[in-house]
Amino acid sequence: MAISLFDIPLQHSHFREDFLKRVGEVLDSGQYILGKHVKEFEEAFAEFLDVDHAIGLNSGTDALFFALKLLDIGPGDEVICPAFGFIATVDVILRVGATPVLVDVDPVTYCIDPAKIEEAITEKTKVVIPVHLFGRACDMTRIMELAESKNFEVIEDVCQAAGSQVDEDFCGTFGRFGCFSFYPTKNLGGLGDGGMLVTKDKGLYEKALKLRDHGRSPITGDFEIIGYNSRLDVIQAVYLDMKIEDLEESNIDRIETARLYDRLFSGSEVVTPEFLDDTSHTYGLYTIQVRDRDRLQTFLKENGIGAGVYYRRGLHREPALEKLGLTRGPVPVTDALSRKVLSLPCYPSMKRLNVERVAEVVLDFLQRNESFDRRRR
């Protein structure tokens, strides 16, 4: 039986009937842009995170872009972010005219290394964007200490980590802003694009409400600033409002799958994500490191198993960015990881049998490889 990297229809199947009923209500309501449904989801999201304000947007990318705009970041400013990650984090910095400074990540967490942030700070540094990668929380305690002592703002990229925590607090609630994505494969995935910006700052929240709706004040209806069209879609809001009720449980499900993989791989040469505690990793992706990664990916495919490479190269090596010289020096951890990482299927309601099958095929490949290597020696 085929096992895909993400089984999104399986995740949606629990909500199908309730969702179709609610879509009927939206159809009859005549309210298709913003309004009650978006507001209800924003309130549920803010309550879940225990944060004051949440603003529904059309994507996680716009959440990051708006966060930078709201802090007036622009030409001459430097924004530090990790070299290992997704391009959206960097392209928004370029879009506001600021300079991205890409630094290396920690070899254990794969998240931005606070020591590398410290090395990269200059008098132009205005913002640091920690990315909670694959569901793993960054070292927010150290990063917030640095923010305080070095005087920069923190915008958390939580696109891959909805529901991850540092002790009692949720990722996205430490910095000035938290930016979330509802891209279908995410921990809180919708049925298309969507995103959320959260903040404790009332003034910035009120400005964000205008920015997402062409600069229009929700109170006076006047166009008070130049804005954008970046409203969270009503159908997405209706769907996500149901799904958020299940987020904690579905994350626990992911964590249990990850623990099972950990056990199945223990004693082998597979480098599994380091277990630190129960809440700081929600396994948006279960990412291992192996030698011969590309051949293993092909072998898995031949056995009907989907696996993904996130990411095949550091952002400084992406064709769109490589000529810009965005690193200040070598980023060896990023370069090493990008040669070895492979993400395995890990999603809520994944059958134990399927997890065991994936692990069996991985271990079988490594064993064959080992005997092949021995024969060559």
- Site for ligand PLP, rule CB under 6 A: 59-61, 85-86, 88-89, 131, 157, 159-160, 181, 183, 193, 195
Shortest distance (Å) from residue 185 CB to ligand PLP: 8
**What residues are paired with 155 via a beta bridge?**
177
Shortest distance (Å) from residue 62 CB to ligand PLP: 7
Shortest distance (Å) from residue 369 CB to ligand PLP: 31
Task: Pick the closer one to ligand PLP by CB: 130 or 299.
Answer: 130
Task: Pick the closer one to ligand PLP by CB: 114 or 195.
Answer: 195
Task: Pick the closer one to ligand PLP by CB: 182 or 365.
Answer: 182
Reading the block at residue 170, the tokens are 């949720």
Task: Pick the closer one to ligand PLP by CB: 160 or 297.
Answer: 160
Length of the chain: 377
d(CA 150, CA 130): 15
Q: Would strands 153-157 and 165-166 be described as parallel, antiparallel, or unpaired?
A: unpaired
d(CA 33, CA 31): 6
Task: Pick the closer one to ligand PLP by CB: 139 or 157.
Answer: 157
Task: Pick the closer one to ligand PLP by CB: 192 or 268.
Answer: 192
Shortest distance (Å) from residue 296 CB to ligand PLP: 23
Shortest distance (Å) from residue 183 CB to ligand PLP: 4
Shortest distance (Å) from residue 66 CB to ligand PLP: 12
Task: Pick the closer one to ligand PLP by CB: 236 or 354.
Answer: 236
**What residues are paired with 181 via a beta bridge?**
195
Q: Is the link from the previous residue into 311 a cis peptide, with omega within 30 of 0?
A: yes
Task: Pick the closer one to ligand PLP by CB: 310 or 365.
Answer: 310
Closest by CA to 180, choosing from 92, 64, 84, is: 64
d(CA 223, CA 206): 13
Task: Pick the closer one to ligand PLP by CB: 85 or 348.
Answer: 85
Shortest distance (Å) from residue 284 CB to ligand PLP: 8
Task: Map residue 78 onto helix, strand or coil.
Answer: strand
Shortest distance (Å) from residue 181 CB to ligand PLP: 3
Return the residue nearest ligand PLP (CB atom). 60
- What's the DSSP call for residue 274? P
Kindly report each contact of residues 93-101 with a partner whose C-beta sits within 8 Å and lies 24 or more positions away, as own/partner.
93/68, 93/129, 94/324, 95/65, 96/65, 96/68, 96/69, 98/68, 98/73, 98/74, 98/126, 98/127, 99/124, 99/326, 100/324, 100/326, 101/125, 101/326, 101/327, 101/328
Burial class (CB in 10 A: 0-12, 13-18, 19+), 75: exposed
Reading the block at residue 140, the tokens are 């927010």
Shortest distance (Å) from residue 199 CB to ligand PLP: 17
Residue holding tokens 């490589």?
322
